[in-house]
Amino acid sequence: MLLAVALLAPHGWSAPFSTISAPIVHTRSSQPFMELKAGDDVMVAGNGPVMLLAAKLAAIKGYSTTCALSPKELEQAARLVFTDVHPEGSLPISFVPIAGPDAEAAVIEACVAKAKGLILAFDGEMTIPESALKGSA
């Protein structure tokens, strides 16, 4: 089962996404990016290969894409996203670790603050583990 939810910020909105309370688009298939235009920043979060494919599709469509990944997914991201047709460096996509020793709260917060759109894509009926949602002690 593929579930994708896109939360899009109103034009000119710059507050962190933590203040968004309701999805604008809730679908089982892709939908157009309402007010976004090529070059706008989007953030992609979720899990599994479908999240990486959603990020790649956003980058192919011209959105400056930041993909928030767990350390495990970070290891396989480049292998799944970059191909002979779309080699590394050819797409406007970057990967940011959201956990582990390489994760930096300031970097994540900056990415979220500049993003005009958020794409959530989950592979299967899995969710983000509760431990990933809790701050470090």
Q: Residue 66: which residues within 8 A CB-CB, separation 6 or more?
A: 41, 42, 43, 44, 93, 94, 95, 96, 111, 115
120 closest CA partner among 41, 37, 30: 30
- The model scores a pTM over 0.85: no
Look at residue 16 and tell me whether its pLDDT is greater than 70.
no
How, if at all, do strands 64-69 and 2-8 pair? unpaired
pLDDT in tens, 43-76: 998 888 888 999 999 999 999 999 998 888 887 8
Of 19 and 75, more confident: 75
Look at residue 32 and tell me whether its pLDDT is greater than 80.
no
pLDDT at 71: 83
pLDDT at 76: 84
The pLDDT-based confidence of 134 (bands split at 50, 70, 90) is low
pLDDT at 11: 44
pLDDT at 122: 80
pLDDT in tens, 72-117: 888 789 888 999 999 999 999 999 998 888 888 899 899 889 998 8
pLDDT at 12: 45
Using alpha carbons, list the distances in angstroms from residue 70 to 15, 36, 59, 106, 108.
24, 26, 20, 16, 12
2-9+39-125, CATH topology level: Rossmann fold (3.40.50)
Residue where the block lists tokens 């896109």: 6
Domain range annotation of the chain: 2-9+39-125
pLDDT at 59: 94
